[in-house]
């Protein structure tokens, strides 16, 4: 009998990762296909949905060919993806414009207007029921922005979709979403009632029919169509699972679909999630998990690892050239440079607020900064200070969680940045905590989508069995001397934003 596989895709900020997972929960192979982000002016960040589909098609074909498997052996397809996105499509599923991805904050005037015009009583009830914020990065605010600024597109819109929902549509010809994206992406999901909140829809003036129907992340929502099979090389009739928002899929893929574990995701953006079954008696941001009995209390910042990529692309052409010549990742060379610098970067502090910040009290007008520059600082100092600044932001997030009485007994690190042993050591030392790295840290979102798909088709009995497939890969422990240095600088880091907040309003 041939081995059965799950195909999973994770649509990230810079590209799509495809993985094949066998019935024992091991990743057999992976493929990657990149796509661009369009930033024509400050506050605008868009992606083309057709680029997402092209990346899925190409990575699927490459993976099947590279691993020499039969498409008939793929028994399920799971999808995760970046969110929110606010992609309008017509009745034929054709995009009516580019998607507004998570870094896009152009809807800030709408958020400001809502906060002024809607009663505090409603906002309080709304946040308690949905966990959503009146925030330009949440899609109900963006839908209103499109309604006000692009009324013709709004009128033609049949459904607003998230990234993974568009791929499900292309595979199955079904308009759908899941609980996690109805919650985290659209910001309109009533946790208690497990449906879109009617009071919120009425108050904001958003018709229910413009939103896709939400399903459990483990639910089969359709099958690969003949047209999709021809494009991708997949088998007609292969079950497609509803999937999950990347931030939710990561928790399952990291083996952290249970309370008291803080999951730190160090990707293009950064966020911390702690799961709990309790509902706060005061408003706070949360989103529904793959196990819908759990809420993920989260804090996020849209510019994390992307700050280091900015440094690489803008100031490290030689490192990129050398890395290409010797066929290694340029980030390894950046690590080598940063390792030469003492902890604290000679008192240079970096604020990673390239698209607003900080995470715990978001201000869309906030900007990034290097504070404390002197003539003795080098490019290597800047590289290390970026890594340290993001570590400080992680600590800021965890302190905020603990202030909400969410106990953190364990910390797990995922995302592309987890590959850097230096960065892992810096984060552990800033937090003063041991950091555990799960078995597939850079594929946690895709892996979580695969595990959920495995539950959906019965390869795994339930989510608990699926989560049991996750092992530990690595650990980082704090360096006491580093921690002592970082204690002082972290205090300064938090104070910097408070001192600059008024000045940002004048920019």
Evaluate whether residue 456 is within a structural domain: no
Nearest to 265 by CA among 249, 244, 276, 288: 249
287 and 160 within one domain: no
128: domain CATH number is: 3.30.420.40
Are both 217 and 185 inside the same structural domain?
yes
Same structural domain for residues 377 and 279? yes
Q: Examine residue 392 and state whether it is found in any structural domain, yes or no.
A: yes
In a domain, 464, yes or no: no
Full domain range(s) for residue 237: 5-242
365 found inside a domain? yes
Where do runs of H (alpha helix) occur along 205-352? 226-232, 246-253, 305-315, 317-326, 330-339
**Do 375 and 232 fall within a single domain?**
no
- Answer whether residue 459 is part of any domain: no
Q: Are residues 103 and 176 in the same domain?
A: yes
Per-residue CA distances from 276 to 66, 203, 242, 291 (Å) = 41, 29, 23, 11
207 and 153 belong to one structural domain: yes
Q: What is the pTM of this model?
A: 0.90
One pLDDT digit (tens) per residue for the chain, 507 residues: 689 999 999 999 889 999 999 999 999 999 999 999 999 998 999 999 999 999 999 999 999 999 999 999 999 999 999 999 999 999 999 999 999 998 899 999 999 999 999 999 999 999 999 999 899 999 999 999 999 999 999 999 999 999 999 999 999 999 999 999 999 999 999 999 999 999 999 999 999 999 999 999 999 999 999 999 999 999 999 999 999 999 999 999 999 999 999 999 998 889 999 999 888 777 778 999 999 999 999 898 989 999 999 999 999 999 999 999 999 999 999 999 999 999 999 999 999 999 899 999 889 899 999 999 999 999 999 999 999 999 999 999 999 999 988 999 999 999 999 999 999 999 999 999 999 999 999 999 999 999 999 999 999 999 999 999 999 999 999 999 999 999 999 999 999 999 999 999 888
Is the torsion defined by CA of 197, 119, 278, 186 positive or negative? positive
Please indicate, yes or no, whether residues 198 and 158 belong to a single structural domain of this protein. Answer: yes
Tell me which of 208, 242, 276 is where a domain ends. 242
- Same domain flag for 187 and 287: no
Q: Total structural domains in the chain?
A: 2
Buried b (16+ CB within 10 A) or exposed e, 418-442: bbbeebbbbbbbbbebebbbbbbbb
Asked if 460 and 241 touch (Cβ cutoff 8 Å), the reply is no
Specify whether 184 is located in the same domain as 306. Answer: no
């Amino acid at each position: 009998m041939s081995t059965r596989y799950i195909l999973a895709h994770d649509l990230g900020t810079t590209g799509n990762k495809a993985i094949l997972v066998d019935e024992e929960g091991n990743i057999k192979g992976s493929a990657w296909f990149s796509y661009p982000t369009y930033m024509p002016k400050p506050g605008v960040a868009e992606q083309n949905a057709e680029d997402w589909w092209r990346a899925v098609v190409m990575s699927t074909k490459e993976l099947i060919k590279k691993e020499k498997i039969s498409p008939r052996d793929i028994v399920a397809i799971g999808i995760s993806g970046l969110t929110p996105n606010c992609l309008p499509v017509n009745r034929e599923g054709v995009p009516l414009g580019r998607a507004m991805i998570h870094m896009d904050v152009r809807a800030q005037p709408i958020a400001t207007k809502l906060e002024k015009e809607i009663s505090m009583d409603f906002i309080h009830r709304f946040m308690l029921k949905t966990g959503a914020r009146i925030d330009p990065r949440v899609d109900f605010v963006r839908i209103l922005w499109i309604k006000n600024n692009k009324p013709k597109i709004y009128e033609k819109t049949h459904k607003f979709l998230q990234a993974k929902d568009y791929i499900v549509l292309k595979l199955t010809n079904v308009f759908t979403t899941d609980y996690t994206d109805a919650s985290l992406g659209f910001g309109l999901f009533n946790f208690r009632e497990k449906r879109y909140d009617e009071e919120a829809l009425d108050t904001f003036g958003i018709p229910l029919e413009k939103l896709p129907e939400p399903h459990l992340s483990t639910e089969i929502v359709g099958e690969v169509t003949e047209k999709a099979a021809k494009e991708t090389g997949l088998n007609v009739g292969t079950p497609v699972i509803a999937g999950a928002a990347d931030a939710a899929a990561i928790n399952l893929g990291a083996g952290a679909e249970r309370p008291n574990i803080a999951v730190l995701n160090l990707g293009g953006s950064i966020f911390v999630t702690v799961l709990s079954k309790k509902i706060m008696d005061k408003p706070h941001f949360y989103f529904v998990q793959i196990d819908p009995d759990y809420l993920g209390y989260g804090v996020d910042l849209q510019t994390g690892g992307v700050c280091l990529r900015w440094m690489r692309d803008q100031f490290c052409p030689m490192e990129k050239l050398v890395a290409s010549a010797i066929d290694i990742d340029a980030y390894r060379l950046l690590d080598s440079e940063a390792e030469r610098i003492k902890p604290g970067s000679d008192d240079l502090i970096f604020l990673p607020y390239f698209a607003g910040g900080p995470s715990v009290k978001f201000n869309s007008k906030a900007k990034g900064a290097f504070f404390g520059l002197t003539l003795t600082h080098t490019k290597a100092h800047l590289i290390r200070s970026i890594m340290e600044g993001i570590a400080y932001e992680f600590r800021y997030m965890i302190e905020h969680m603990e202030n909400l009485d969410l106990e953190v007994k364990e910390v797990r690190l995922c995302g592309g940045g987890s590959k850097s042993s230096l960065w892992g050591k810096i984060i552990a030392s800033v937090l003063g905590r041991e950091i555990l790295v799960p078995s597939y840290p850079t594929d946690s979102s895709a892996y979580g989508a695969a595990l959920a798909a495995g539950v959906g088709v019965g390869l795994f009995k339930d989510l608990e069995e699926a989560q049991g497939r996750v092992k530990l890969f690595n650990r980082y422990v704090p360096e006491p001397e580093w921690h002592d240095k970082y204690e002082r600088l972290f205090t300064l880091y938090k104070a910097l934003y408070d001192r600059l907040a008024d000045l940002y309003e004048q920019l």
